[in-house]
Structure 1
């Protein structure tokens, strides 16, 4: 009887109303909690429902978009875990409703309600959403972007962890029909830095060659492999920096891969300054290195080729057609890095060089 009373009381707390969680308050993480699996410790698909004033939320895409109250719920065995959260739209290009009528989101958790849930150690998380409600192509695009994050995890822990979810969005005012779509959560920047024993750095105007050379070269080769030119270190364009100290050489960490060839977004157009016609045209955007330096990194890409291919082959959410397209694209990459003449043409002759002012 005592145990039943405790369970009932705990459930009652989780099911408290939206008003119990003020959206503008930030909660600390100083309290000790019981060991519960971390959100990013598993690759298993999580199924959630989010109930909110959906129409108002997705239309709030201005520069000063605000948090909106919502309720997140998911099944845990025969029980339902439910908690108050706050959500807001986020992003730059994909926040444009002419591009994505359903924009990316940021979610903020109530520490006390999330304490014994899958989100127990999270404060705020980015969510990459499906962008378009009716076009099935966008669902595959989302899975492709998710897999690029997972692919980069294969090459370095200094990367963002992600977790795939199937979210059912429900409109609390019944002005929109419910919809169920894939999405994925992205690990918090500062938590990613901490996981790697480093601190988050926010400095701009750090030249690519002033980061850790081996790691930025690996990053540039990876971006070449997936066909992504939409990044830049000095401007922190789709790049975050982590470092051991405020003054040590940082490690650049990429994110936002929606302009990559593998994603194949219809809105993705390469920058005119790059002199490539299509996002499917690979371009190495790293700086000049020796053939020996490149070979050291290519060796790792060769070693991890099977794991990379299996990541895509074994993904049950990616269509066979998309798998074939990706593997063919990867095949061409491996043909290049196994051919000394092509390495010279693609990575040495076409590489960027530092221009010194006279």
Structure 2
């Protein structure tokens, strides 16, 4: 792997101009559509070497007119691709620019679709985590909640309607923010990114109880930068292992020494006291906004909502108690900076 390059090495093409907001992700309404494909063929195609399968997507536009778009779909993901984990795997939707003009998908090429896996409840929970991070940092992935009717083109299964959500393509996200994705080959450590943004990201991951991320290993993290003269920013995604989601299959790696994913563990580096104060102040200012993401969602189970509000309460009690904050965040951050525990399975950084 390579070190962070000197100016003009990383980008040979001009940086993108500001992208227009994509209505697909600015609209908060649930997007309802029908996805038709060969169900059996797709379900069987979960190995490392996978292929795209023909599909059609049908929805009704704002004028009440049915719209049909031809596309290709492929099973994606790592753990959730395993049939022992997910009964229905996450999908990659691959659109052709020729078939999407004048549709809600006209500005996209590829989109990740997070599906119900083992149940709609967990889709909603993970979707809301993305919405929370949208509050924490505008440099984040946009998402769109969907209700999808899955139809087998062979007619061998009854149609099934479930919740899902679309995730903004990483290149489109970077373009919207007038940046580009820093290639994974270029090693970026946490202390080489924007300190304030990194501190917010690290504390956000602590808030949701997520240890399943790494900046240098690019594990569930994309790094963006306007150019090589600018300080890069880390952008997180993929939260199914977060304690706040509490997926039944989510188990913390033994190296971390925690019993469950609900047990919080800070995985960030140490930051100056001034940065800590600024970040704590930010989370306090936006506390009501963060809680409203959950209290304003009518799709959540009432028991889960109560548990989640209590989980958030615990976070705020920690960051607003100097002694507790020093124990849970400051000291652990100092330890992480000296000797970071690397989870087995991540690629070795050279």
Give the structure-2-normalised TM-score: 0.88
1:159-308 matched pairs, under 5 angstroms? 159-204=140-185, 205-246=187-228, 248-308=230-290
Aligned: 1:45 with 2:50: no
Per the alignment, residue 354 of structure 1 pairs with 338
Bigger RCO of structures 1 and 2 (CA < 8 A, at least 6 apart): 2
Distance 1:251 1:329 in 2: 28
Per the alignment, residue 71 of structure 1 pairs with 56
Q: Deviations over 1:19-70 (max 9, x none)?
A: xxxxxxxxxxxxxxxx996200111101100111111112211111111110
Helix, strand or coil at the partner of 1:317: coil
Q: Is the 8 A contact 1:85 1:108 kept in 2?
A: yes
Distance 2:262 2:283 in 1: 20
Match of 1:93 among 79, 86, 90: 79
Aligned: 1:110 with 2:96: yes
Helix, strand or coil at the partner of 2:98: helix
Deviation at 1:354, TM superposition (A): 3.1
Aligned: 1:153 with 2:137: no
Q: Deviations over 1:277-305 (max 9, x none)?
A: 11111111111123332111010000001
Distance 1:293 1:78 in 2: 51
After TM superposition, where is structure 1 displaced by more than 3 Å over at least 4 residues in a row?
A: none
Distance 2:184 2:169 in 1: 18
Distance 1:331 1:296 in 2: 19
Give the structure-1-normalised TM-score: 0.86
Gap regions ≥5 residues in structure 2: 1-19, 341-350
Gap regions ≥5 residues in structure 1: 1-34, 133-137
Deviation at 1:71, TM superposition (A): 0.6
Q: Is the 8 A contact 1:73 1:82 kept in 2?
A: yes
Per the alignment, residue 114 of structure 2 pairs with 128
Q: Is the 8 A contact 1:108 1:125 kept in 2?
A: yes
Distance 2:38 2:175 in 1: 35
Q: Is the 8 A contact 2:22 2:107 kept in 1?
A: no
